Amino acid sequence: MECLSYNKYLIKDLSDIDLIISTIPLESKQCPVISVDFALLNKDIEGISKALTDEVIISNKVLSEYFDVNLFLKNPKISKKEELLTLMCDTLNENNIILPSFKESVFYRETLSSTNIDDFLAIPHPMDLSAISTKICVAILDDPILWNKDTTVNLVFMLAINKDDYFEMDKIYDVFLKIINRDDLKQSILNCSSYERFLELLQYTVS
C-alpha cells in the first residue's frame, strides 16, 4: 500500500491496512506488525525492482546525483562504529547536506535495530528526512569494524534523504542490492583506491 518513514507512520490512518512490515520494532493496536531484517528480503526486492523499473537509467541517475567525491571516505582512521558515524555526519554537515537534527537522529536509529544489511554493508540513516539535499556518504574500510554484537562491516553508506526524494529510495536500494549479491564486486570495492574507480565499479554493475 505504502512505504512510510517512522514519523509518517505515527500519524498514518491505518484503518484500511491489514499488515505492517517493519525493519524496526513497532507496536500497533490496529493491525498485526511483522519485524523483518533487510537480509531476508534482498532477492525478493531485487526481483521486483527489476520487473518494475528500467534499472539502468535509474541506477545511472543515482550514481550521478547522489554520490559525491567530497563525501567519499577511503579507509578513515577510526576503530569504532560511533567514531565512523560521527565522522560521516560531520562530513555531510561540512558540505551543507543535512539539518542540525541529523546526527542525533542517526544515533537514535541505531539504538532501535542494526542497520547492516549483511556482514559487509551497513546503511545508517536518520529516523526522519532531515537532509537539505539527497546524498550518500561512503566509507570504505580496509579493516572491518564491529557494527553490532556479532557482525562487522567494511562498507558503509550513510543515507541523507531529502523529503522530496523520499520515493526514490527504492531505486537507491537497487544499487545496494547489486553490491551485496556479488562477492567479486565487494572485493573490487575494497581494493579501489579512488572515488573515480569506485564509481566505475558501480557503473559497471548497471550497464
Taking the mean position of all CA atoms in its chain, how far away is CA 4?
15
pLDDT tens digit sequence for 152-207 = 999 999 999 998 887 777 777 878 888 888 899 999 999 998 999 998 888 766 55
pTM of the model: 0.74
Quote the pLDDT of residue 25. 84
CA nearest neighbour of 180 among 136, 122, 113, 126 = 122
> Three-state SS for 76?
coil
Quote the pLDDT of residue 206. 56
In this structure, which amino acid lies at residue 86? Answer: T
CATH topology of domain 38-206: Mannitol-specific EII; Chain A (3.40.930)
Average pLDDT over residues 147-153: 92
pLDDT at 44 over 50: yes
pLDDT at 56 over 70: no
- CB of 149 within 8 A of CB of 131? no
Helices (H), the chain: 6-11, 42-52, 55-66, 81-94, 102-112, 169-180, 183-191, 195-206
Chain mean pLDDT for the chain:
85
Query: How far apart (Å, rounded) are the C-alpha atoms in residues 96 and 113?
Result: 28
pLDDT at 59 over 60: no
Quote the pLDDT of residue 61. 63
Query: How far apart (Å, rounded) are the C-alpha atoms in residues 144 and 138?
Result: 14
CATH 3.40.930.10 domain locations along the chain: 38-206
Reported as a pLDDT band with limits 50, 70 and 90, residue 51 is very low
